[in-house]
Structures are given as C-alpha cells and as structure tokens.
Amino acid sequence: MARIDDTSDYRIAPDPQAARLTRAVGGTDQTGAAVDLNVVEERPLTIYLNAQEIVTAMTIGDYPQYLALGFLRNQGMLHEGDKITGVDYDEELETVVVRTASQTTYEDKLRKKTRTSGCAIGTVFGDMMEGLEGVTLPATPVRTSDLYALAATINRTPSLYLEAGAIHGTVLCQGDQPLVYMEDVGRHNAVDKIAGWMLSENETANDKTLYTTGRLTSEMVIKTALMGIPVLASRSGFTAWGVEIAQQVGLTLIGRMKGQRFVCLAGEERLIRDIDPAQVADEPRKSGRKGSA
C-alpha cells in the first residue's frame, strides 16, 4: 500500500524526520555487511504538578507539554474546573511543570501507583478505576465505512513507526478524518499527548474515535473512557480486562482491524454497517492463523 504524500488535513501529523527523535546507529546485517540504522531515541521527562514531583516517564521527547497535561488529566489530578496558570518545559532539565491556581497534594495517590502492561512501563494509580464511576459515554453512532477509511489513511501516513519501528501510534479521529496523530515508545504516552492536546484546545470528545496501533488493554480503555471518547479501535488484539471494562462503561471496542476484517467485542449498538466489506481492499491472512480476524 503506497504512502500518502499530503498530510495537510491533519491538525498534527507525525514528523519522522524531526531532529532528536531518531539517531543513526552502525551495525551489521545477517551477512556481516555494515549497515546504518535509524533507531528511536528515548529520554526521561519528569512531570511536576505545582511543587509536587509526580512521575518520570520515558518518551521520545516531542510535545512534552501535551504529554504532561494529558497524563495528569487521565490520572485524575487535573479536573474540568481546575484553572491552569502555566505549563513550563525546561529542555535542559527535561522537566515539565504544570501550574494551577489552587495547590493540591497527591501523596496518598502516589503511594498507590502500580505498573501496567504498557510498553516502556506505563504507570497507573491504584484508584484510577474510581474515576470511571459515573462516566456516561455518548451513544454517538460510528459508520463502518468511516472505520475502513480511517484505517486505510492512517496505515499509509508517513510515521516514525514506518521510518524506524519500535514505537506506537494513537490517532484522534472524527468521522472518516484523522485529526491528531501522536507517537511514542509507549501507547499510554501517545494517548496522553492526545488528551493534553484536547485539553489545551478545548476539543469535544463526544463525536470522536480513537485509533491505536497497539493492544486494547485495560489502561487504553480506561483512558479513552475518561477522555469521554465513545469508540476505540485498533488493528491489534484485546485483553480480557480491557473488554470487560469497555462493556461496563459502554465503550465501543473494535480490534483486529485489518483489510476487510474487524471484531467488535463491546458497544456493537453504535455500529452502522453501511458498507459491504467485500468492497474494501483486503490484506492477506498470515499463514498458520486460519479463521483469525
């Protein structure tokens, strides 16, 4: 499938040639011949909320302000009524300080943090599930023709993944149009960047779809629901807890989306099947996985 050349319809598109995101490393191939390979950079980013150090995340280093805002929002440390007075990034110290009009401490919450299954060790706090209480996602319908169109566009968009691999992408979409495409070494970082962008731009969530290149884990489902987005889709697979949470909160969860095929394990009632899958270009099935979707 040929890559697309024009990404002007994106509000934010990947920039695989951006400085500092990759560097060339010399090595040898299977024949012993010398090769130079672009590999993804990882660097620490420490996030503060006012005077409280919250977490140090490993990230590729782009959009640090969005990552900090989205992380704090998705962890329940920033609320809708909070007044943000500043977001200060220090590139030399690799820190972001998010400042609010009122001071809040989170020592108890920090003691509850646990590791998650996300790549690059995502961090989720023990009471994060409490944030889902009372969450009501809108019953916004989603057309399968839009899902197919999104997958085709996203998979052809020039990205750091196509350039160097070892990275995940998450895309905020509306209808059949991808809007914001974020990448990082962990899918949790990529979705936090989108949450931070939405918070900064006061972007509505009720008419959006979130597309991710990674697995549909509990953390991805929780963060999508907390952002108020009713649909989460991926070409990858599911975890059982991710499916269970999606069913509980009424999130439409679509995985294994490749070519003509996909599987919906939650929120089927939102789907409008307005296109015959036979009209969609298919991808060849991998050998040894007959009947898989």
The tokens of 108 are what?
A: 């108890």
The tokens of 67 are what?
A: 């990552």
> How many C-beta neighbours within 10 Å does residue 71 have?
29
Band of residue 208 on the pLDDT scale cut at 50, 70, 90? very high
3-state secondary structure 103-139: CCCCHHHHHCEEECCCCCCCEEECCHHHHHCCCCCCC
Average confidence score pLDDT of the chain: 88
Per-residue pLDDT, averaged over 197-217, amounts to 95
More confident residue, 289 or 241: 241
Q: Per residue in 262-290, pLDDT tens?
A: 999 999 999 999 999 999 998 876 544 44
Looking at the chain, the domain(s) classified CATH 3.40.140.10 span 142-279
CB 240 within 8 A of CB 218: no
Band of residue 116 on the pLDDT scale cut at 50, 70, 90? very low
Per-residue pLDDT, averaged over 73-89, amounts to 90
Nearest alpha-carbon partner for 189 in 35, 13, 88, 47: 47
Band of residue 108 on the pLDDT scale cut at 50, 70, 90? low
In the predicted model, is pLDDT for residue 162 greater than 60? yes
Q: Which of 4-13, 100-109, 136-145, 203-212 has the lowest mean pLDDT?
A: 100-109
Looking at the chain, the domain(s) classified CATH 3.10.20.10 span 43-129
CATH code matching the domain that covers 43-129, chosen among 3.10.20.10, 2.170.120.20, 3.30.365.10, 3.40.350.10: 3.10.20.10
In the predicted model, is pLDDT for residue 122 greater than 60? no
In the predicted model, is pLDDT for residue 133 greater than 90? no
Band of residue 20 on the pLDDT scale cut at 50, 70, 90? confident
**CATH architecture for segment(s) 142-279:** 3-Layer(aba) Sandwich (3.40)
- For residue 234, give Cα distances in angstroms to 127, 178, 200, 252: 26, 14, 25, 11
